[in-house]
Amino acid sequence: MDIYKLLRSYLEGSIRQRALKSSWTYKIIKQAVAAQKRHYPWQASHRLLLHTIDQAAAAFLQKGPVVWHNVFFPTEILYGLGAIPFAPEAAAVVATGLGIAGRVLQRAEGDWLSSEACTFHRLAHGCDREGYFPPPAAVVCSSHLCDTAPQSLAATAAYHGVPFYLLDVPHRQDDAALEYVARQLKRITFSLVEALNLDWNGDRFQKALVNSNAARERLLAVNRLRQQRPACIRGEEAHSFIYLILACFGAPGTVEVYEELLTELNRRYREQRRAVPEEKARLLWLHLRPYYPNAIFQILEQEAGAVVVGEEMNYVYWEPLDPERPFYSLARKVLSHHGLGPVTRRIEAILAMADNYQASGVIHFAHWGCRQSTAGLRLLQDALRERDIPFLNLEGDCVDQSKYAPGAVRTRLEGFLEMLL
Amino acid sequence: MVLTAGVDIGSLTTKAVVVRDGHLVGAAVLKSGVDSAGIARKALQEALGQAGFKEDSLDGIVATGYGRIRIPFARRRVTEITCHARGIYHLWPDIRTVIDIGGQDSKVILLDDDGKVRDFVMNEKCAAGTGRFLEVMANALEVPVKDMGTLSQQASQGASISSMCTVFAESEVVSLVAEGRPVAEIIKGLHNAIAQRVVAMAQRAGWEEPVAMTGGVAKNLGVVQSLEEYLGTSIRIPPDPQIIGALGAALLAAG
């Protein structure tokens, strides 16, 4: 049974919004996914999907106050409060996978959202206004990296008439900045407690940070394994775990998924089970990827043997959190992001990743409307050239399939591979 | 003797080249159509006929261009990026930058000392600044596309064309005609607009001298002149710039 076909049939019918709010939907989907367990090449992927379904069910069935957040807000706070986090940018990916993006983007256009704006946010807007997303009880958003998120999410909060809390993140990383961010995180936390009438539980809050650290440790171990030759997991398979780093740190389920992935990876490296029969090149992938059906990874990994061995989005950029000083250490995490501040920080991090993963080439997927990711590309290209590392900037859209030109993408990828191999 | 062929299936034209021991001995250019494989086969037969050989004497065939995956008789497929680089390197090994403007895309390719591709930049996925763009504008101006180069040289200045979107630019051209602006100035304006776009790509790639140009648009001296002005350097044009991709493919087929 194709789970996506099943979901699509639910969503395309007249009962689409009601279907998302029915516990039967999640029971059926979970049963269908559970029955497919042995068909998953990675059990961690299977566990990740079940974890995602549980999270979606909690949000859509309103099992608690649903708090929308952007993907750079530290979710440990939301898990620590016992709220139900919902990341509209990540949910937009699911909407793309379900094939409803085209119609929903039209809705966003009809609401005067500029087509110049990031498609993730336009899609999230359309999904929300069309009733595909669970209504928020509150919205939190961090100002760093993504310039569309604060405006887009503030508008959503206003539309639903719920409180909006902005985490204002400065570009500098000094003590004053740390203090400034920590103070805001504390204020947002207790504002949420008050506004949503939540029970403050210090132990639960600390546990979210402990979970976050446990997930971080496992992700670090996964990344260390992936730095070995030959690769034992294809980039296409590893990419989906990015969801965890963007929306699930602080949840116990996240630790379980990484644990499973680590166990499987360890076994495969021990058994030398290669990701591709012959590893001809090792690639580092920057930013995100298209989430609609496309041939990018097939061309790279299966046809050419050029394995994506690491992703920028899976990079552990922060130090362990201190559960005794939650706001201070979460502020430090936020300010540690390699994409924050001068572009040289990101370049240094990417060069270190290229070294660690022994990457012979770097591909950057330039998502439409994402300025934080694309504005410094010239400097990045120059830095990679100095190290003789070929670089491809692949322009496209992560969620809008109408921007995907298969022939043009194939030519760019094959041209890059011919240069590399 | 090593006899090889290269077939370049572009969006507007299909080119075939036959090479014997590294020397071009036959070439053909046909209009592309829905039957890519049939037209490619026909172009190959024409080029082979010129060279005086039959298909079964070929030691290798490489297909390139957007239609390369649809050519069943090709023994290998290589992108036009590598093929244009190889073709130009064969003619002029000192070239370091190739500008290729074809029917539906434009590229800037950087070559190293051995003629290998060092880097490349391609246009976005639309027809702006390509051969198809010029065809649409020629149609709007009611002039043959092959005369655009000569006509533009009659103008001392180019009209300002603000949009490179084929649809918007066409309506701009129609407005300029209605305003009574001389056709030569409009064409020069179009050439300048294309050149500005390609120069931005060249800068992104980090272009170096000497520069050569390939692809059908290289036959348009107006575009070449505009490019030379904006780049501030002279551009070498091969005798038949349209077949360089196919030539490179034929040379690559020889190994």
Calculate the alpha carbon distances from A379 to A172, A344, B159, B186 in Å: 20, 8, 35, 37
- Distance in angstroms (rounded) separating the CA atoms of residues A51 and A43: 12
Nearest to A224 by CA among A200, A258, A247, A179: A258
Give CA B31 to chain center in angstroms: 14
Is B161 within the bounds of a domain? no
- Distance in angstroms (rounded) separating the CA atoms of residues A187 and B249: 65
**A409 → chain B, closest CA residue:** B125
> Helices marked H in A357-405 — which ranges?
371-374, 377-386
Is A35 within the bounds of a domain? yes
- Distance in angstroms (rounded) separating the CA atoms of residues A164 and A154: 6
Closest approach of chain B CAs to the CA of A375, in angstroms? Answer: 13
The beta-strand segments (E) located in A9-102 are 66-69, 84-86
Write out the DSSP string of B30-59. EE--S-HHHHHHHHHHHHHHHHT--GGG-S
CATH number at A129 reads 3.40.50.11890
Reading across the β-sheet that carries A164-167, which strands appear in turn? Answer: A84-86, A66-69, A138-142, A164-167
Is A308 within the bounds of a domain? no
Question: Could you give the number of structural domains in chain A?
Answer: 1
Q: Do B122 and A412 touch (CB under 8 A)?
A: yes
Of B82, B116, B124, the CB nearest to A415: B82
Q: Do B120 and A378 touch (CB under 8 A)?
A: no
Q: Do A419 and B119 touch (CB under 8 A)?
A: yes
- Quick check: helix, strand or coil at residue A115? coil
Q: A412 and chain B: CB distance < 8 Å anywhere?
A: yes
pLDDT at A10: 62
- Distance in angstroms (rounded) separating the CA atoms of residues B228 and A54: 61
Q: B53 and chain A: CB distance < 8 Å anywhere?
A: no
Question: What domain range includes position A128?
Answer: 3-201
Residue type, A134: P
Query: Strand B211-214 and strand B97-101: pairing?
Result: parallel
Is A329 within the bounds of a domain? no
| Chain B hits for A391, Cβ within 8 Å | 119
Best to test chain B binding among A414, A416, A417, A421 (most B CBs inside 10 Å): A414
- Quick check: helix, strand or coil at residue A282? strand
The two structure tokens encoding residue A405: 């030109």
pLDDT at A100: 87
Give, for all 421 residues of chain A, the pLDDT tens digit: 566 666 666 665 545 677 888 899 899 999 999 999 999 999 999 999 999 999 999 999 999 999 999 999 999 999 999 999 999 999 999 889 888 898 899 999 899 888 888 999 999 999 999 999 999 999 999 999 998 999 999 999 999 999 999 999 999 999 999 999 999 999 999 999 999 999 999 999 999 999 999 999 999 999 999 999 999 999 999 999 999 999 999 999 999 999 999 999 999 999 999 999 999 999 999 999 999 999 999 999 999 999 999 999 999 999 999 999 999 999 999 999 999 999 999 999 999 999 999 999 999 999 988 877 777 899 999 999 999 999 999 999 999 998 899 999 999 999 999 999 9
Q: Do A415 and B81 touch (CB under 8 A)?
A: yes
- Average pLDDT along chain B: 95
| Chain B hits for A410, Cβ within 8 Å | 69
Nearest to B194 by CA among B73, B101, B79, B58: B101
Q: What is the pLDDT of residues A94-120, one digit of tens each?
A: 889 888 898 899 999 899 888 888 999
Exposed e or buried b per residue across A155-173, where buried means at least 16 C-beta atoms within 10 angstroms of its C-beta: bbbeebebbbbbbebbeeb
With beta carbons less than 8 A apart as the criterion, state whether A307 and A231 touch: yes
Q: What is the pLDDT of residues B202-222, one digit of tens each?
A: 999 999 999 999 999 999 999
Q: Do B81 and A411 touch (CB under 8 A)?
A: yes
Residue with tokens 């996978």: A97
Contacts within 8 Å (CB) and 24+ apart, B134-137: B134/B190, B134/B194, B134/B217, B134/B220, B134/B223, B135/B12, B136/B166, B136/B169, B136/B170, B137/B169, B137/B170, B137/B173, B137/B187, B137/B190
Q: B125 and chain A: CB distance < 8 Å anywhere?
A: yes
Is A239 within the bounds of a domain? no
Q: What is the pTM of this model?
A: 0.93
Q: In the predicted model, is pLDDT for residue B154 greater than 80?
A: yes
pLDDT at A170: 97
Is B9 within the bounds of a domain? yes
- Distance in angstroms (rounded) separating the CA atoms of residues B161 and B170: 10
Calculate the alpha carbon distances from B111 to A267, A362, B209 in Å: 44, 19, 10
Q: B120 and chain A: CB distance < 8 Å anywhere?
A: yes
Q: Do A411 and B204 touch (CB under 8 A)?
A: no
- Distance in angstroms (rounded) separating the CA atoms of residues A135 and A59: 9
Q: A419 and chain B: CB distance < 8 Å anywhere?
A: yes
Burial class (CB within 10 angstroms; exposed 0-12, middle 13-18, buried 19+) of B157 = exposed
Q: What is the pLDDT of residues B88-116, one digit of tens each?
A: 999 999 999 999 998 888 999 999 999 99
Closest approach of chain B CAs to the CA of A350, in angstroms? Answer: 19
Q: What is the pLDDT of residues A220-265, one digit of tens each?
A: 999 999 999 999 999 999 999 999 999 999 999 999 999 999 999 9
Q: Do A418 and B82 touch (CB under 8 A)?
A: yes
Give CA A353 to chain center in angstroms: 18
**B204 → chain A, closest CA residue:** A378
**A397 → chain B, closest CA residue:** B125
A26-30, A127-131, B196-200, B242-246 — most confident range: B242-246
Chain B window 144-203: which residues touch A at a Cβ cutoff of 8 Å? none
| Chain B hits for A414, Cβ within 8 Å | 79
CB atoms closer than 10 angstroms to residue A326: 24
Q: B79 and chain A: CB distance < 8 Å anywhere?
A: yes
Question: What domain range includes position B91?
Answer: 3-125+197-253
Closest approach of chain A CAs to the CA of B180, in angstroms? Answer: 35
Q: A386 and chain B: CB distance < 8 Å anywhere?
A: no
CATH number at B75 reads 3.30.420.40
- Quick check: helix, strand or coil at residue A26? helix
Q: Do A408 and B105 touch (CB under 8 A)?
A: yes
Q: Do B81 and A405 touch (CB under 8 A)?
A: no
Residue type, A247: A
Is A354 within the bounds of a domain? no
Q: Radius of gyration (Cα) for chain B, nearest Å?
A: 18
Q: A199 and chain B: CB distance < 8 Å anywhere?
A: no
- Distance in angstroms (rounded) separating the CA atoms of residues B214 and B195: 14
Q: B89 and chain A: CB distance < 8 Å anywhere?
A: no
Q: B118 and chain A: CB distance < 8 Å anywhere?
A: yes
Of A385, A403, A418, the CB nearest to B81: A418
Is B171 within the bounds of a domain? no
Residue with tokens 């139900």: A84
**B66 → chain A, closest CA residue:** A407
ipTM score for this prediction = 0.93
With beta carbons less than 8 A apart as the criterion, state whether B43 and B16 touch: yes
Q: B82 and chain A: CB distance < 8 Å anywhere?
A: yes
Contacts of A298 (CB under 8 A, 6+ apart): A236
Reading across the β-sheet that carries B106-111, which strands appear in turn? Answer: B117-122, B106-111, B97-101, B211-214, B235-236
Is A233 within the bounds of a domain? no
With beta carbons less than 8 A apart as the criterion, state whether A153 and A68 touch: yes
Q: Do B120 and A419 touch (CB under 8 A)?
A: yes
Is A27 within the bounds of a domain? yes
Q: A388 and chain B: CB distance < 8 Å anywhere?
A: no
Is A299 within the bounds of a domain? no
Q: How many CB pairs under 8 A join A and B?
A: 39
